[in-house]
């Protein structure tokens, strides 16, 4: 869709179906991002307003076992190289 022909998005409190995921998932440094990277998108993402079902990437209930699993590597066995890890992109 041409960047200058995006549908107008008007926020209200009614449930509505969004096509905003495309915008959220596009990385500013990805190919073809030059068409929209300076556009000031109005963005919101509210599960209660989405229709016909909540728009999300995952169902949290599928991850209950992992989310509440015991600690995998204890404090004393953590790497001492750095306390923090950041993976901005695998590519």
- Residues that bind another protein in the complex, under the rule CB under 8 A: 24, 27, 29, 43-47, 54, 56-58, 60, 63-64, 66-73, 75-76, 78-79, 81-91
How many Å apart are CA 36 and CA 4, to the nearest integer?
9
Q: Which is nearer to another protein, 5 or 62 (CB)?
A: 62
Backbone angles phi, psi at 33, to 5 degrees: -75, -15
CB of 4 to another protein, least distance (A): 21
Q: Which is nearer to another protein, 7 or 70 (CB)?
A: 70
Of 58, 59, 1, nearest to 32 (Cα)?
1
Taking a C-beta distance cutoff of 8 angstroms, is the pair 82, 75 a contact?
A: no
CB of 54 to another protein, least distance (A): 8
CB of 87 to another protein, least distance (A): 5
How many Å apart are CA 19 and CA 17, to the nearest integer?
7
């Amino acid at each position: 869709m041409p960047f200058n022909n995006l549908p107008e998005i008007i926020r209200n409190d009614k449930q509505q179906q969004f096509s905003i995921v495309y915008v959220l998932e596009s990385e500013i440094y990805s190919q073809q991002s030059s068409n929209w990277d300076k556009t000031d998108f109005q963005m919101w993402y509210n599960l209660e307003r989405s229709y016909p079902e909540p728009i999300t990437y995952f169902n949290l209930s599928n991850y209950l076992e992992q989310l509440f699993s015991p600690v995998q590597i204890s404090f004393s066995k953590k790497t001492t190289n750095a306390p923090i890890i950041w993976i901005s992109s695998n590519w």
